[in-house]
Chains A and B, each alone.
Chain A
Amino acid sequence: MTAIVNVFLKEGVLDPQGKAIHHALDAMNFEGVEDVRMGKQIVLKLSSTNKEDAQKEVEQMAEEILANTVIEDYTIELV
């Protein structure tokens, strides 16, 4: 099973990298971009075949190291 963990700065926490990308897109005349948020994606290959166990384990990983929950939120997708 593969776990895809997306980590983003929390809503309301200013994202300097997203802002810089937004500026660049404006400069390139891409119109209609209202907001840009930049995050990272961590892909984990798991030996587990039990979705429930995997979800629990990856949640623990996200809480303890993959995200800094003071400033970041995360989502987990299992495929």
Chain B
Amino acid sequence: MKNIAVLQFPGTNCDLDTQYAFEKLGCKTTIVWHKASKLPDNTDLVVVPGGFSYGDYLRSGAIAKFSPIMKEVIEYANQGGKVLGICNGFQILTEVGLLPGALKRNIGLHFISRFQTLKVVNNNNVFLQKYNKDEVINIPIAHADGNYYIDEKGYQELEANDQILVRYSDEKGDPVVVNGSVTSIAGICNQSKNVFGLMPHPERALERILGSDDGIKMLEGLIA
């Protein structure tokens, strides 16, 4: 059985959904309060869930960056441990420098909450290994600061190393502008492909009756 650590900051609100998702897939999950200085022993995956850590004060993810647990998460990632950041978790991972780039306010300024089709750009990583390349999947998004920015040089590196995971797309897989992200990027990974971040919420796409179960394969990839 895989052990999943789900972080919780003041203002995190997707911790229980994330716990539900991984338990449904047969994992043991532990919610880890941000003031903890250690991750549970034998952690197989750390998830930084969505929400509004510290009320998004200063910038999304800016204050969570200095929570005691993040030091441990950085060390865990640097030793090759798997880390997933969803939505606010993605913002936090860019703030601490585990992922390149930054997330700005959406181009239309609105908070966008809806199902969104995405194209799987690369599947040569554990996170998306269960999908086909170019597959179009349907996963909800819910964010105000999802406008991914990276400079030209950084973008070339992402491209060259297959670090772009998913792009916002239409049902045919053609990119669409949702929030102003550089080339419609919705999720990326680091160079060594053990740290993953995306704005869409796979933990909210587990049951067809609730709209889509396309998120299961993402989470399964990480615990395979």
A interface vs B, CB < 8 Å?
9, 13-14, 16-17, 20, 65-66, 68, 70-71
**How many of chain B's residues have a CB under 8 angstroms from any CB in A?**
20
Chain A contact residues: helix, strand, loop or mixed = mixed
Q: Which residues of A contact B62 (CB under 8 A)?
A: 65, 68
Bound-state Cα–Cα, A71 to B106, Å: 14
A17 to B110, CA, bound (A): 11
Q: Determine if B128 is an interface residue (Cβ-Cβ < 8 Å).
A: no
CA distance A13 to B101 in the complex (A): 12
The answer to whether B109 touches A14, judged by C-beta atoms less than 8 angstroms apart, is: no
Residues 26-61 of B at the A interface (beta carbon under 8 Å): 58-59
B100 (CB) vs chain A CBs: closest residue: A70
The residue that A68 contacts in the complex, of B102, B109, B147, B150, with Cβ under 8 A, is B102
B180 within 8 A of A: yes
Q: Is the interface of B mostly helix, strand, loop or mixed?
A: loop
Q: How far is the CB of A3 from chain B (nearest CB, A)?
A: 16
A13 touches which of B95, B107, B149 (Cβ 8 Å): B149
- B66 A16 Cβ-Cβ under 8 A: no
What is the minimal beta-carbon distance from A47 to any residue of chain B, in angstroms? 21
> Nearest residue in A to B95 (C-beta to C-beta)?
A68
CA distance A66 to B95 in the complex (A): 12
Task: State whether the Cβ of B104 lies closer than 8 Å to any Cβ in chain A.
Answer: yes
Question: In the assembly, what is the distance between CA of A9 and CA of B63, in Å?
Answer: 18
B105 touches A17 (CB 8 A): yes
Residues in B whose Cβ lies below 8 Å from that of A9: 104
- Whether, in the assembled complex, B10 has its beta carbon less than 8 Å from a beta carbon of chain A, the answer is no
Q: Do B65 and A65 touch (CB < 8 A)?
A: yes
A79 smallest CB distance to B (angstroms): 22
Task: Give the residues in chain B near A13, CB-CB below 8 Å.
Answer: 104, 149
Query: Are A16 and B180 closer than 8 Å at their CB atoms?
Result: yes
Contact B147 A16 (CB under 8 A): yes
**Given that A13-B149, A17-B109, A20-B109 are contacting pairs, would A66 and B58 also be in contact in the complex, using a CB cutoff of 8 Å?**
yes
The answer to whether A71 and B102 touch across the interface, beta carbons within 8 angstroms, is yes
Which residues of the other chain, A, contact B104 by a CB distance below 8 angstroms? 9, 13-14, 16, 71
12 sampled A-B residue pairs with Cβ under 8 A: A13-B104, A16-B106, A16-B109, A16-B180, A17-B105, A20-B109, A65-B63, A65-B66, A68-B95, A68-B102, A71-B104, A71-B149
